[in-house]
Amino acid sequence: MASNLLILTLIFFISSLSSTATTNPSSLSSSHVSHALKKTGHKMINELNLHPNREVNILKSNADSLDDELKVSESGLAEKRLSLSVLGDSGATVADLAQHAGYFRLQHTIDARMFYFFFESRKAKADPVVIWLTGGPGCGSELALFYENGPFKLTNNLSLIWNDYGWDKVSNIIFVDQPTGTGFSYSSSDQDIRHDEHGVSNDLYNFLQAFFKAHPDYIDNDFYITGESYAGHYIPAFAARVNRGNKNKEGIHINLKGFGIGNGLTHPGIQYQAYTDYALANNLISKSDYNQINQRLPACEQAIEQCGATGSDMCQPAYSFCQQIFEDILSLTDNVNYYDIRKKCDGSLCYDFSNLENFLSKSSVKKALGVPSSLDYVSCSDLVFRSMLNDWMRNLEVEIPALLEDKIQLLVYAGEYDLICNWLGNSRWVHAMSWSDQKDFISALNVSFIVDGKEAGILKNHGPLTFIKVHNAGHMVPMDQPRAALKMLELWTTGKLLQPNKGVGAGAGAPV
C-alpha cells in the first residue's frame, strides 16, 4: 500500500507490480521488488500531479552554505515568525497569533534537519497541542496544511485564504516534514534516510523535546498525535516513544493524552485481507473475481508472518505478494480513484496538487518560511518511499494495547469511500486488538456521530478507544468533510466525542 498521500497523507501509495503471483513468497528476489517499488513511487507521486525536482533532499555539496542561512537557538531550533500574506479574516480571538516555521537539527544523526510549521490556536493558547504527520511514506506535511486541516487554503492563483475549518481553530498545531529528505527537511548524508519506525519515532521525539524547550508556555498543554495514511505506522510508534520517554524521565515530560489515526495502514495482516471484501461490497469486483483474487491470500499471509518473525528478509516479498491483491482489484475497475471510489482518476491523475509545488518553489515564499534559497521542496520523496519498504508490512498495532492500558486515548477514523486504507480493514484490526477492555468495546453500541444536527458518521466507543466511519469521505477526511473533521477533533480532545443516546441499526457487538 502506498499512500501518503496520503495524506495526503496523506497520502500514501501504490504499487503497480508486474510480477506474477507464485506459491512461494521466498521466490521473489529483493532486486525484483525494489525495481517494482521504484515504479510504484513514481506512479503514486504522478497521480497526485506532483513532480518534485529532487528525488530526496540530500545535499552533499552545499550543506554548509545552507547552515549559514539558518540561525539556531539554544534549543537546537532555527525558527522564524511567519510573514505570509493571507486574504480574509482569520476569525481569531487571539490578538497576536504566533505562527512560526523552522528547522531542528536532529540529534543522533549525521547531519539531518527537520522542517516544521507551528500555528497557535485561533481560540486560546491553552488549547491542546496537536502534531500532524502526513503519510506516503515520504510526503510533506504541506499537503495536509494547504489542502486539508491547516490554517490556510491555497487558491488557483497561488494566494492564501483562511481555512474556516483549520484545526488551529481548536488546537495549537504542528506540521512536520518527515522522515528526513521529505518536504523541506534535508541532510548532507544519505545515511540519515530512515528505514524503520525506530528511527522515525526517535527523530520525532527529539524534535518534540527541542520544541517544548523553545516554547515552554505549551509544556503543560494536553498533547495529541494525529495523522493519516502511512502515518498509521508512524503514530503508534511515536506515541509509544513519547510514553516511554515520560516513564523513563528522559527529558521534558510531554503531556500525552491521545493519538488519532485517519485512514491509516496499521495492521497489514488484517487490512490486506479486507481488500476483496470491501471491493465486493462496493461492486468494484464480481463474486468470481473475489474468489480468484482471494487465492493470493495464503501466500500474502504467510509472507507477512515471516516478515514479522524473521526480520527484514521476507518483508519485500510480503509487500509484493500482498500488494498484488490490491493491483488485481484495480485492474478490474474502470480507472477508479483508489482514494475515493466515488470518483475516477482524470487520465493518470487522481488529484491535482500541483499548485503546492508552484507555491513553495517561489523565492518569496521560501524567504518568508526561513527556508534556504537553494533548497528545493520535495513534495513526495520517491527515495524515502522505497527506503521504508521493509517497514511496510510490519504490524504496528502491537504498540497500542499498552498505551490504552495507560488510559491514553486512541481515535481511529476512516472515510467510507477510501479503498487503499478502507474503513472495513481499519474496523477489523481495531476490533481484533487484544486489550483488557476488548470484549466491552466489541459489545458497545454503534451510535450516530452528529455534526450540526446531521449524522456525519457511525461511532463506537469504550473507555479510551473510539472508532468512527465517516460518511461521504474518502482517504482525506479533513479535505472531504472539513466541518465534521474539525468537530471530531474538538470533541475528542475535550472528552465529549461519544454521543450515547443515538443507537443505530447495526446494534451491539456488530462492527461499525
| Residue positions annotated with a catalytic role | 229, 418, 475
- The residue type found at 182 is T
Residues 269, 325: Cα–Cα separation, whole Å: 13
Closest CA to 353 of 2, 1, 8, 39: 8
Cβ-proximal residues to 88 (8 Å cutoff; 6+ apart), any chain: 161, 162
**Rounded Cα distance, 261 and 272, in Å:** 17
**CA quadruple 309, 11, 37, 347: dihedral sign:** positive
Give alpha helix (H) positions in 311-376.
Answer: 315-331, 354-360, 363-369
- Rounded to whole angstroms, the Cα distance separating 344 from 89 reads 35
State the cell numbers at 386: 522505497
- As a whole number of angstroms, the distance between CA 235 and CA 230 comes to 9
HSE (side-chain half, CA atoms, 13 Å) at 199: 17
Report CA Rg, the chain.
21
How far apart are alpha carbons 45 and 340 in whole angstroms?
17
Q: Are 510 and 447 in contact, with CB atoms under 8 Å apart? A: no
CB atoms under 10 Å from CB of 364, counted, come to: 10
